[in-house]
Structure 1
């Protein structure tokens, strides 16, 4: 590959030496040389990494640990003579796998979008002739044209330039346009060299001729792509936890199965074949076949809930990951703020005006105190407004509808000035027509100002200048004070600088405005420096990118939920701190780390720094990546926002990458796990609540299905420990009926339960916390399970007692009484589960508070399980399969009363716990 000097070295060389170094000339490369370089350096494309085929992506949904366990469960059920249930288990697995694949199929890798971002054709000079070539064929040394609206094809040095301004936000993260020129000047940021342009950025204004110095994967764009491609996406916390849970349940099920197998042979002397089938049935019974469908449903519900809050999730597991988030690394512009420059104040010597109305809307006013002021009421203000409008190249088109904002064609800063004059009621068409522009000096990053000469209808010409205060003030020798122009004194300059500094400490940006009359004898073909002199200072327009109104409450909710926010921005330290303190992210003593400081920090120092009250300003792309990585090294679950190409590696490195839907590049969107359609930080917080709800719902499901395992196991324990004197009160087929039949629909209903009150008043769950924890096990086995076991076992003995079989004589092991007793046991478990479904809906909050019948899926599930139970009991063919028989009217009356006391006893327990916590000053939401 051809070796050249570094970009910075090339940028500083004299033009002749630069051409010589690149082996090129103003006439461009010879075609033969270009072809040779294309062979040597390769095409100007972003290389794609190894791709996963759709087939492999499809198969992976059926090869997870839980999926494999379900395949084995189906085989076990078939071997146990239960063909229908085996097929049902497989069907559940197939449906879940297909649904998961469909949800994730739309996601593409970041480099697909990178390739699409490069333009198809580029106009170059070869053999002294201007030709159009495919952008893929561009090589280092090619001389090519840049025009307004072009996306730049390569990293290049400018050799000719006319008012070129480039949108580098996709790389730098900063929304301000960057002025370019032929002369070298090193700016403050990584991409701020005045005579260099970069692949993937956009020419917003002007045109230029440039020489390519890097193409393809060697461009800054390509290097970021390589970093993104090399960053592998690790398994989500939920995937890891589900695999761990599956292993635990598998081991428990196997141990129980082996224990029952040995006990059946040694204690009851059951034949080996029969004992084996009995043990297999118990293993299948302890496997939560509904776990995957319930998790998928919970995640899908979370996806739907997030979409209502303007958050689109690409992978289901990302939903729950959001709920675990402990740190949010957030951009400032457009996420915390509105990404709309807004004039807030006008400062004139001896006068200050406030401007109402935010963003690119003209529904505000200019006020002095409480008194509105319009154009035509104050001569000094009128002159500043006139200069702001005439010395302006930006156009603002009205929005097409309520869903879309105004269309800005040009600089956001100039757009704010255009809106300002609209708020003042200036008749812009009349001013424009009576003061046509006769000369323009575009904004220059060295001069830091822009000037125009406009000629009035009476022939008088006026030079209007706006820009950074330091540059403007140095050119002013007079000042406009209350309608009178007088010489500027040192005291005037001090007063102006103090006012500017006061605004800067508030995070506001000032733009100075000045003017002078141009005589007829002056040559307008002079340079800007020759014409911009002896100016009269008018005043300052003071602007900001205001915070989103809803971000204040969102930040408070994060603090309440013990979620830290770290601002990572390309803006300067003063502005960053002002916004962070204003909206409550940081305190006044926040540590500000700039990109230059960060570059000198070791990884260990950075890991220590991100634990404190800190924000980052003027960061480079790889530095944002380091910040995310440092937080993860500290054990944090990190969500990171981004919108530019430079953000892709950080988005991919984060546990949950969040791209901006409105301003984000395709690269960022493809690298991210979630896309915000409104670019709003508040939407992230709403999505976090949905994520926490998903995790809570999965735990509710586990509590529900595990508690039924106890009354299913107790009958077998009674059978074994009685030495067979107590016949099996519940057969294996009846156990599986509960697991795969009656329990399934209410369990799925729990997967769609809404957020419990107070869910955002507790900290994120610890990284080492597990879905199946001690609280759930104790509540499932020692409380819910115990209640159901007592009731169902009592039902079994009650039927035997009613027909004289107990305690007067041995319990029947066959016949009508035995069938009725086992049927009653099964039915009692089902009706206990009706109450348990309601009990599991909340942790400690009363179900009456959230609405007893508010979850329609649970209501449907309860109706479904009662109907299914009735079919199993009364349909002759099903009676033979499930060993059931019809029940009496009295039996149904008893069954119907079971859920009421079971539900009320749990409500009483929740009430007592709440009262106890209240006495101790604790919130029920804080209970794990």
Structure 2
């Protein structure tokens, strides 16, 4: 029964539908419903199966970098420094727990997929209507709907009165669909006139329907299942960190091997001593602070995004968004406001632009920037009156925002009347409605009859231009009425075509004075008789307007070299109009509909995606196809949306961005980031944060590698002098820099905000890596080399003050300890300059605030205090081979960062002047 496709029921006779479903117009018996519930299961949407909490927890400790750190801890313990080994493990454990907590909290906050279905439905059981939990509805159940009800199942209509259904969650179409009992195929998917779908909402009218499919067998369920099938792959950041770990591992172990061989054959150390020496160098080249720095950088970005109304579900998601090259954006509710708004009023003598105007009282309406009294424009006053009276929608203020009870189209007309200061409640009392002819998809109009005086009546009507204009005999021209001429028809048609070319919808506002009618005549009159000899008043022109902030956001995306592709279920004309209006594409952009996309080969689609293109009337599977094709082209794709139809693409994309206020729970569940304010501009802010995260990780890498060069340089001198130059830096001192003095300043770099110009640069290439030529040059050839010369110079200068080269370099004793202490201290103070220099790539540190990043300065203070503790604490002096130094030595050390900082500022100034367009 339930294996049959929903659409296959659309064209069948109701009697046959009843027979196939084993039901009748009186519904099921209680016993039959219970049997079917056992067979089909509850009417719920299954969630994607997630890995166990234990597995989620453990994986935070088993990444390549984490494994390398576990090994480093073993090496440290093996070399006789258990305290350092334990410290490395502690860093790994704390980082893993922190990462798990962040991800667990985010998942818990968005774990609400089932909330989209309504809780209760009015269902016929044993011939009576009962209020039943929606999860208990089964195929064959007969249920009733009224305006505002969410639809719990896929169903075939049995009865329908003025039923309009908001299907935007499934189709992306902002205009509600009219539904009726008779079959019409309609345009696009889910457009069958007599089928209603789970996950949509009745916005007006009433209906009675028979349930066809429930739960995962509904179209809603099929889309959810398609979403569940998509497995999230490792994020670009995770892949890059794995690559970096492999690179660092190769470098570290290669250096260790070189030092092992050199120690044995050049210095003639015993193998055991050479092995311990080599292991110490391996540990020195492993950046133990990388994982906590990455986590801190991501967490800081997440916190900043939370303040900008974006909930990040997984830490790595924010960095992925920073790499985005293409945004596939839905239109309705994402780029637009998802509420119809009157843009223009076309009247025989005047055309008024009312876009974006506010509420005005006392009979005035703000038109084209100035207030105009409605009384001065009879057409305008009549248009407002008819639009307000021929209307079943209410618009109320709730929490400072309009709350619509009815259809978006009628709501736009009500808001227009409110702008004009029209007292709707009083007008309904003065001119009560006595009869109505409800909207239907065949007439494409609605009319109501109102008593304007005793036994005198007026018909108020609104409808589509093509189905209404030929019913008009005359036109209201100012305060006079005259016949509607051919010239009038041509003017009205030309105006409508101009509006349509901009993606706007025109609606005719008309009326007819019926004169005096007695009660029998009033009761007997039908719409065929009443809706003729109309007086044309004007056109109300409307659209779903773009969000005000989206224009700047789109422009910023273009500056950041990020391509935006609109992918919507809306009509091609509307889609292109909005895309051109907000600057996504130019006038010559290609529009591809879902039916055309269905016939395109993968190669043809790739050619189309390489140019400016807009996709309209697309199905969920087609959105998924677009995203996957872009990924095959090497793009990093962010997909935005709010509907059920967006969920598969959100899950497939490198980064899925769902709308939090207007978005469905299915979309939120599939997404990586949820915008709590539904603001497209928040995506741009998130991209900036993502780029900052990656930049901060690279800053950390440069900083941490800087100290590796001065750490290794003394050992090179020791080896290649065959031991004649004693080790200027011991293994314990090397590890002190890596795990002690360097760690906190490096973590401070992880909290650095985006520097100026970051959004004027293109997204990083997939072929670009954290450890690239620029990083290697800065770390080894610039910062590292300078630090090596200074620290080694400090070692030799200390010996020089004590008689070298007249006497041999000391390999032990107080002089040796003083020399190694100065070498260690010089490296630390070089790193003070380096951490300040690493805060920006080419911008001046003064431009972002020298003291703005407090974590960096706390780290600097900490490393200096730690150095002092190691130097002046007797117990630690023996462990770390240090000794007390004089105040003159401290003066020399504090002077080191100043020239290093100023030299780098000069280099950055030259770089900025070479590329002024980026700053």
Alignment TM-score, normalising by the size of structure 2: 0.96
Q: 1:113 to 1:356 in 2, by over 3 A?
A: closer
Contact 2:173 2:571 in 1 (8 A): no
Q: CA deviation at 1:906?
A: 2.0
Residues 346-357 of structure 1 mapped to structure 2, 5 A cutoff:
346-355=345-354, 357=356
Q: CA deviation at 1:110?
A: 12
Equivalent residue in structure 1 for 2:890, among 889, 892, 897: 892
Corresponding residue for 1:458?
Answer: 454
Corresponding residue for 1:841?
Answer: 839
Q: 1:475 to 1:9 in 2, by over 3 A?
A: farther
Q: 1:282 to 1:758 in 2, by over 3 A?
A: same
Following the alignment from structure 1 to structure 2, what is the Cα–Cα distance between the partners of residues 350 and 49? 59
Contact 1:356 1:366 in 2 (8 A): no
Query: Which segment is superposed worse, 85-94 or 118-127?
Result: 118-127
**SS across alignment from 1:479:** strand
Contact 2:3 2:217 in 1 (8 A): no
Query: Which segment is superposed worse, 865-874 or 152-161?
Result: 152-161
Contact 2:333 2:642 in 1 (8 A): no
Q: CA deviation at 1:293?
A: 0.8
Residues 680-759 of structure 1 mapped to structure 2, 5 A cutoff:
680-759=679-758
Q: Show CA shifts across 1:445-485 (max 9, x none).
A: 33222211111243321111112111111322222222333
Corresponding residue for 1:408?
Answer: 404
Q: 1:914 to 1:383 in 2, by over 3 A?
A: closer
Calculate the aligned-residue CA RMSD, in Å: 2.2
Q: Which runs of 5+ in 1 are unaligned?
A: none
Corresponding residue for 2:485?
Answer: 489
Following the alignment from structure 1 to structure 2, what is the Cα–Cα distance between the partners of residues 368 and 284? 73
Query: Which segment is superposed worse, 583-592 or 456-465?
Result: 456-465
Residues 394-405 of structure 1 mapped to structure 2, 5 A cutoff:
394-401=393-400, 405=401
Following the alignment from structure 2 to structure 1, what is the Cα–Cα distance between the partners of residues 358 and 214? 39
Q: 1:322 to 1:111 in 2, by over 3 A?
A: closer
Q: CA deviation at 1:223?
A: 0.2
Corresponding residue for 1:425?
Answer: 421
Contact 2:358 2:419 in 1 (8 A): no
Following the alignment from structure 1 to structure 2, what is the Cα–Cα distance between the partners of residues 135 and 555? 41
Following the alignment from structure 1 to structure 2, what is the Cα–Cα distance between the partners of residues 503 and 132? 46
Contact 2:99 2:295 in 1 (8 A): yes
Corresponding residue for 1:388?
Answer: 387
Corresponding residue for 1:677?
Answer: 676
Corresponding residue for 1:24?
Answer: 23
1:263 and 2:262 equivalent?
yes
Q: 1:110 to 1:439 in 2, by over 3 A?
A: farther
Corresponding residue for 2:499?
Answer: 503
Q: Show CA shifts across 1:585-639 (max 9, x none).
A: 1111000111221222223322221111101122222222211112111111111
Q: 1:364 to 1:894 in 2, by over 3 A?
A: farther
Q: CA deviation at 1:107?
A: 4.4
**SS across alignment from 1:771:** coil
Query: Which segment is superposed worse, 602-611 or 634-643?
Result: 602-611
**SS across alignment from 1:662:** coil
Q: CA deviation at 1:789?
A: 0.6
Q: Show CA shifts across 1:545-596 (max 9, x none).
A: 3323332222222112111011112222222222211221111100011122
Following the alignment from structure 2 to structure 1, what is the Cα–Cα distance between the partners of residues 885 and 186? 86
Q: 1:906 to 1:354 in 2, by over 3 A?
A: closer
Q: 1:358 to 1:305 in 2, by over 3 A?
A: farther
1:883 and 2:881 equivalent?
yes
Query: Which segment is superposed worse, 413-422 or 688-697?
Result: 413-422
Q: 1:399 to 1:20 in 2, by over 3 A?
A: closer
Contact 1:110 1:228 in 2 (8 A): no
Q: CA deviation at 1:40?
A: 4.0
1:480 and 2:476 equivalent?
yes
Following the alignment from structure 2 to structure 1, what is the Cα–Cα distance between the partners of residues 714 and 361? 76
Following the alignment from structure 2 to structure 1, what is the Cα–Cα distance between the partners of residues 293 and 370? 61
Q: Show CA shifts across 1:841-890 (max 9, x none).
A: 22222223333222222111111111110001001111121111000122
Residues 574-653 of structure 1 mapped to structure 2, 5 A cutoff:
574-653=573-652
Corresponding residue for 1:908?
Answer: 906
Query: Which segment is superposed worse, 833-842 or 371-380?
Result: 371-380
Corresponding residue for 2:826?
Answer: 828
Contact 2:342 2:354 in 1 (8 A): yes
Following the alignment from structure 2 to structure 1, what is the Cα–Cα distance between the partners of residues 613 and 716? 59
Q: 1:55 to 1:363 in 2, by over 3 A?
A: farther
Query: Which segment is superposed worse, 837-846 or 216-225?
Result: 837-846
Following the alignment from structure 2 to structure 1, what is the Cα–Cα distance between the partners of residues 362 and 576? 29
Q: CA deviation at 1:173?
A: 1.7
Contact 2:359 2:418 in 1 (8 A): no
Alignment TM-score, normalising by the size of structure 1: 0.95
Corresponding residue for 2:179?
Answer: 180
Q: CA deviation at 1:49?
A: 4.1
**SS across alignment from 2:105:** coil
Q: 1:68 to 1:79 in 2, by over 3 A?
A: same
Corresponding residue for 1:137?
Answer: 136
Q: CA deviation at 1:359?
A: 7.2
Following the alignment from structure 1 to structure 2, what is the Cα–Cα distance between the partners of residues 138 and 194? 22
**SS across alignment from 1:406:** strand
1:373 and 2:369 equivalent?
no
Following the alignment from structure 1 to structure 2, what is the Cα–Cα distance between the partners of residues 655 and 524? 62
Q: CA deviation at 1:382?
A: 1.5
Q: CA deviation at 1:208?
A: 1.5
Contact 1:29 1:126 in 2 (8 A): yes
Following the alignment from structure 2 to structure 1, what is the Cα–Cα distance between the partners of residues 393 and 45? 34
Query: Which segment is superposed worse, 336-345 or 806-815?
Result: 336-345
Q: Which runs of 5+ in 2 are unaligned?
A: none
Equivalent residue in structure 2 for 1:448, among 437, 441, 444: 444
Q: CA deviation at 1:910?
A: 2.8
Following the alignment from structure 1 to structure 2, what is the Cα–Cα distance between the partners of residues 406 and 152? 23
Contact 2:359 2:419 in 1 (8 A): no
Q: CA deviation at 1:690?
A: 1.1
**SS across alignment from 1:105:** helix
Q: 1:232 to 1:514 in 2, by over 3 A?
A: same
Q: Show CA shifts across 1:804-859 (max 9, x none).
A: 1x211221111100110100100000011111111112222222333322222211
Q: CA deviation at 1:706?
A: 0.4
Q: 1:526 to 1:140 in 2, by over 3 A?
A: farther
Q: CA deviation at 1:342?
A: 2.3
Q: Show CA shifts across 1:220-265 (max 9, x none).
A: 0110111011011111100000011001101111111122122212
Following the alignment from structure 1 to structure 2, what is the Cα–Cα distance between the partners of residues 384 and 136? 46
1:862 and 2:865 equivalent?
no
Following the alignment from structure 1 to structure 2, what is the Cα–Cα distance between the partners of residues 61 and 816? 46
Corresponding residue for 2:13?
Answer: 14
**SS across alignment from 1:268:** coil
Q: 1:671 to 1:427 in 2, by over 3 A?
A: same
Following the alignment from structure 1 to structure 2, what is the Cα–Cα distance between the partners of residues 509 and 264? 83
Q: CA deviation at 1:358?
A: 4.0
Following the alignment from structure 1 to structure 2, what is the Cα–Cα distance between the partners of residues 873 and 307? 44
Following the alignment from structure 2 to structure 1, what is the Cα–Cα distance between the partners of residues 126 and 396? 43
Residues 42-81 of structure 1 mapped to structure 2, 5 A cutoff:
42-81=41-80
Following the alignment from structure 2 to structure 1, what is the Cα–Cα distance between the partners of residues 289 and 391? 64
Q: 1:240 to 1:621 in 2, by over 3 A?
A: same
Contact 1:43 1:137 in 2 (8 A): yes
Corresponding residue for 2:216?
Answer: 217
Q: CA deviation at 1:167?
A: 2.0
Corresponding residue for 2:298?
Answer: 299
**SS across alignment from 2:267:** coil
Following the alignment from structure 2 to structure 1, what is the Cα–Cα distance between the partners of residues 911 and 419? 59
